[in-house]
Amino acid sequence: MTTTKTVPMPGRTPVPGRTHIARTSDASAARVISARRPPSRRDPRGPGAGPAGRRAPLRPPHSLFAERLLAVLSGERPVHWMLGWTVGEAYEQLVRLAPATPLRPRPGQPTPVVRRCRAFRPGPDAVEAFATLASGDRVRAMAFRLERAPDRRWRCAAVEIDGPRPPRTET
């Protein structure tokens, strides 16, 4: 015969809004206990939703694009992943750069990460940014330009890795 007396589950305390299964004194039976929020609570949020009105701070667009470009140029993501995020010549630059995966880590080295990303705003709808990328003891540079499209979204307009190389002189 099954009893309806519940025994608290070890290490568990009822949380408002969640459903718990509690064992009865007869080990073969269990019943569901629905824990409800207190009647005095008026906000619709559930437990663990965080303080009302607070959101994580938005990252600046140049920081987000540095991460996206690194993913493509290190071989983590395909070039077409940036198709909707680029305009003009930038996609063609990525198509030329990506097959060589210039930022792919060497064997035994850690995955490259964005060490620092800074930006300069020459106008309200343009950002010129540079990032230093680190992989183990190796540090690389990346520069890119972002332009705000008519739909108010940022798009990458130019990309450059390690800067222009000076011409080699024979000695």
Average pLDDT over residues 119-127: 95
Average pLDDT over residues 15-42: 54
- In the block, residue with structure tokens 């009647």: 39
For residue 99, the tally of other CB atoms under 10 A from its CB is 9
pLDDT band at 28 (very low <50, low <70, confident <90, very high): very low
Determine if the pTM surpasses 0.75: no
Residue 19: is its pLDDT beyond 60? Answer: no
Residues 3, 25 contacting (CB under 8 angstroms): yes
* Closest to 104 measured CA to CA, from 70, 81, 131: 70
For residue 85, the tally of other CB atoms under 10 A from its CB is 19
Paired tokens of 44 = 């619709």
Q: Which residue has the higher pLDDT, 7 or 132?
A: 132
The mean pLDDT value of the chain amounts to 79
* Closest to 104 measured CA to CA, from 95, 112, 96: 112
